[in-house]
Structure 1
Amino acid sequence: MRDGLLLLTAAAGTSVLWHRLRTGVVPGGRARWARTNHAGDEVTLLEGVALVAGATGTAVLAGPVAGLGAARTTAMLVTGVGAGWVGAVDDLRQDTDRKGLAGHLGALARGHVTTGSLKILVLAGTGLVGAALVDHAAASGRGRTRGALGTLVGGAVVAGAANLANLFDLRPGRALKVGLLSATPLVATGPGAPGAAVVAGTAAALLPDDLAGRSMLGDTGANPLGALVGLAVVDRWQGRGRLLALALITGLTLASEKVSFTAVIESTPGLRELDALGRPRR
């Protein structure tokens, strides 16, 4: 019951914030947040700002009375704002000379900090802090501690999920659908449900305009979307569950360096129809 109310609160609050961002004054002016999507249409990246503000704002304002608690609320704030901030840096001041995870890691190894390598460092740091906070909350509730290795794996899951969500943000609605499909099973029962409810409500509020091609998440929104889903996964599972999640995220990330997710989705019956569901026909 509480998770359902939290989901509805997140959806309502995000809708109000999104309306204000679409109609009011925005930092740097609207032109700074405008981009051209794959179809050649102009879209706004302010959707990502709405996602960060809606999710973290709901966690801070409604979380304590909806079962999140102080530690989990702080974990969502750290991972959501951290991933959103570094995503905005990448969106607004993007290095265009290096692409892909390997390129940014190679630049970092040579001592050159690109916006992409900065994103890797920030996502890793905030993911680890988020995992440590939810582990602390779980340990306090059960009267025992969790191992440091499990927390390290949890941090990697959060950071990897943040990066993976960004890889799906290539067509209208795709990343938000992935976020919804990942968060919804966690909402029903168990640890991680309140955080997943916040993500699901926020994503649902933003999905119509994203599907219509009027806005997109960008790194500003896709990174925190993935990070918050990853945090809910970490809160739900430990041990083998976290290792399995990390293996899946790592496999998909490495695969993205070699194959196109869009090509795979569009050539696979079922996935193709799900991906296109809700988009206007051209």
Structure 2
Amino acid sequence: MSARRGRLVATLRHELERTNFHGRTVTLAEGVAVSGAAAALAALARRPADAAVLVGIGVLGLADDLVEHRQRRAGRPVAKGLRGHVRALAAGRPTTGGLKLVGIPVLCLAGAARAEHPRLVLVDAALTAGCANLANLLDLRPGRALKASLMPAALLATLPVQDGGTAERAAGGRTLAIAALLPALAALPVDLDERGMLGDAGANVLGAAVGTALARRTPPGVRLALLAGVVALTVASERVSFSAVIARTPWLERLDRIGRRADGPDEAGPA
């Protein structure tokens, strides 16, 4: 029994191993832990609907992490980017990325509809789903997606909740911000040291938690502006490399490199 358990653990560890852009071996166990911790914090705060949404997003992300990696190892083509997954779905070739493309918005819509004082439900769901995707797009260098999630999560977690008719909704948003903040802080040293990475499972859940917090802690006009920005960045990512833009922008590059290990032999290696 112990030998079988040992083989299972070894197989799982192997399935979660990846090679990062420096050529170093990292593990997606970090992302699994982050997504599980975020969902657990939401559940402990007595927000079962939010916890269920985060669990669902984490499962979809992990499936994408594992299945696409197996396809690459088998030499099979893998759809990339929003357009690639849409084309695959249109051609009748379902992918795990395509499943996320449909499943995450549906989960976010259910979560937005179950929130306190649900207004602009479609906007709230789109903002949450868009942030989930955007965090994943940023997960190409150590600490990048975590830093992008930590800054708004910290602000949303510390802003006071004003008394009034929407206080319960704002308190829920603060809970989701904390659910993103604490796991992200715990994962940051591991990520920066290039021992682990978020992968889809971790990045999608962190982004969704921050997006939900934004939807519940900001007024409608701000939500619409944020959604427009997220959509613009998502569309731009189909044509523009975020890494290239960051490298050309001094203050972004300095922020991106804070805490990171020294570059390996090929900074421009595979993502």
Deviation at 1:26, TM superposition (A): 4.6
Separation in structure 2 between the aligned mates of residue 74 and residue 253 of structure 1, nearest angstrom: 29
Distance change >3 Å, CA 27–CA 60, structure 1 → 2? farther
Deviation at 1:224, TM superposition (A): 0.5
Distance change >3 Å, CA 27–CA 104, structure 1 → 2? farther
Q: Please, which of 12, 28, 39 is the counterpart of residue 22 of structure 2?
A: 39
- Is contact 2:124-2:215 (8 Å) kept? yes
Output aligned runs, 1:1-282, within 5 Å.
26=9, 28-61=11-44, 63-64=45-46, 73-94=47-68, 96-134=77-115, 137=116, 139=117, 146-147=118-119, 150-188=120-158, 189-190=160-161, 191=170, 192-282=173-263
Deviation at 1:109, TM superposition (A): 2.4
C-alpha offsets along residues 105-142 of structure 1, whole Å, 9 cap, x if unaligned? Answer: 122223321111101111111111111122xx2x2xxx
- Is contact 1:79-1:224 (8 Å) kept? no
Give TM-score, length-normalised by structure 1: 0.80
Aligned length: 238
Instruction: Give runs of ≥4 in structure 1 deviating > 4 Å.
Output: 25-28
Separation in structure 1 between the aligned mates of residue 219 and residue 86 of structure 2, nearest angstrom: 28
Distance change >3 Å, CA 232–CA 126, structure 1 → 2? same
Distance change >3 Å, CA 112–CA 133, structure 1 → 2? same
Separation in structure 2 between the aligned mates of residue 88 and residue 77 of structure 1, nearest angstrom: 16
> Gaps spanning 5+ residues in structure 1: where?
1-24, 65-72, 140-145
Of all paired residues, the percent bearing the same amino acid is 46
Residue aligned with 2:232, SS = helix
Amino acid across the alignment from 1:155: A
Deviation at 1:50, TM superposition (A): 0.4
RMSD, matched Cα: 1.6
Separation in structure 1 between the aligned mates of residue 57 and residue 128 of structure 2, nearest angstrom: 10
Residue aligned with 2:262, SS = coil
